[in-house]
Structure 1
Amino acid sequence: MFVGGDSIKGEDPNYSDQVSGFLKKLDQESLIVTNMGLEERIRGCAALTNCESFDHALAGFLSQEPWPDDVQLFQPYETEQILLPDNANCLAVQTFLKMCDLKYVVEYRTNAEEMSPSGRVPFIKCGACLISDFEPITSFVSNKGISLSAHLDEVQKADMRAFMSLVNTVLGNAENYLTWVDDETYSKITKPRYGSVHPFPLNHWLCFSKRRTVLKKLSALGWANKSLESVYEEVEKGCSALSDRLEKSRFFFGEQPTELDALVFGHMYTILTTPLPNNRLASTIRGYPNIVDHCKIIEKQLFDCYGEPDDDFEDIYNPSWPLHFKLY
């Protein structure tokens, strides 16, 4: 599979020294007896070494542990509940974990958002850690010595981060706009799906509350008042930039996939295979054959559930929910 190794330092330059300090104390400090709970031991070491916080210390401690076999990935139900933005994010994380050849099991929960430490899906449970969202999860994995971008130089890594920001800013906001702002999509898709797993009147209240939260976020980002046409134009520009970067390569940085490839696949594939009242978003992506080919390559290598490699990707579009991935 696509596995590399790289050690990534935290944003705080003193972070690694603090972690090393309390890890040494964990081994050497006679005052911390072995029958104490793990949490108590880490709290004690964090205090002895002036580590910033217990959470900081715990994250550093657990990042040294190997990847367990019982990692769980939590997300909403695909058949009746999950929406376009969440589906894209969940697929991106699953793709990343598969590229790293890391074991995980998908756990479906109606209240996955409420369970998440950030209020967003997906999130993973790895040992005692709960980590949500694509970039924190990739950082957590990198701290275990596994990185898809280990072969890149610093300039390439900066480029990769810039394009990941573009994907989140353009495709992520466009998905939220269509799901929560566009009245037709909201009434025909969003409202019935989001509230489907909750009883009346809770289903209506939760949907109203979520819409208000998303609109507030989009407003702060300057997206809430955009016209639908301007949203499509933004997506067109974003796809053009990604297509220019990809050119004729299999992946964005040569023959090996990176975190960017997982993120792009998650969003592009979900848009291409998700039925919406207006299919223009998918049509825009189909106007860039190399991006479609990029999706075909990853889909065949990691999910392999649609026949022979030379099958036409157009046949993958299935106007029904959910995506029928062969995930395991």
Structure 2
Amino acid sequence: MRVAFVSSETVHHRDTETNRRLQTILEVLRDHGHDVHLFCARFWEDDSPVLERDDVTYHAVTDDPAARRSFCLRVPFDMAAAGPDIVHASARQPTVLLAAGWGVRFARAPLVAEWYGDEDIGDDRWTRLATGRGDRIVTPSELVATRVRERGADGDLVTTIPNPIDFDRIRSVTPGDRVDVVYSRRLDEGANLESLLLALAELRDRDWRTTVVGDGPERAAYERLASDLRIEDRITFVGERSLEERIAAYRGAHVFAQTAERCVFPTEMCWGLAAGCVGIVEYHADSSAHELVEGRERGFRTTSEEELADAILEAGDLEYRDVDDRFADYDRSAVAERYLEQYRTLQEEYGLL
């Protein structure tokens, strides 16, 4: 199947959650043998209109991702000329999605609109027009799905497909040191690590060890807070780590705590739960993390530091695991199949199969 992705900006221009999500999807489909093309602004140095890299074909629609008007004028024709079976467009820039919507008329192919939502989904005229485009609308979580519906999307067209993880990779990594709780996230203003630290301070008379993975502008402040709470000797701030190192930490931990205030999909937590951790989530209106633990025996949803401390104690009664096959639905193969199922269904509706 030939899939044409459309996004003026890519992970090669700017490292954002939306761009990483798009890159992951096209790599997953490529790994399943499909012909993947991405129509974007040029990010390579020479003036070649096409770049073949790692079995993905990148097409330069413009030289600058900020040249949105030029991109929107050209991409419908460039994309249609490639003869795609499916067009899959990022909605981060609504006008680009609208342009892809014009392009599918020339290409006579179905359009999948990808709304990720790590940057605020607006409520302007262009956004509301864009929510009406797409034969299918894909979001990473019910949190984002609700926001897209609120801006006018047809709820019958919206489907939720999570970020993928890799079970083979999890199993290939040796579990790290045994700790009671692991926290993993960039330590910025939205990390809300203080909730976990305050909960752990309530348990200072218990025997526990915690690892904090990640770095960022608030790390020093969190380290000072741990010291002020007199629990710094039992918390190890390890900074940024590679994926393999993070997996090792998750496989060695008993609990993965998620307290961030904003999260459209908790990818690191998903890795942690698949690596056997018990999940504890502090609920926030702008976070979808609770969706991963609701209805699960090895999951807790809390709303305060006191409830978080109680959940950590209760989680201690659950068995230690270093892998949990019940998260197999999040594996790369399963996620690829969910996208392909949407593609095949749309092709049948278009009479293309």
Q: Greater relative contact order (Cα 8 A, min sep 6): structure 1 or 2?
A: 1
Same fold flag (TM > 0.5): no
* TM-score, normalising length: structure 2: 0.24
* TM-score, normalising length: structure 1: 0.26
* Structure ranking higher in strand proportion: 2
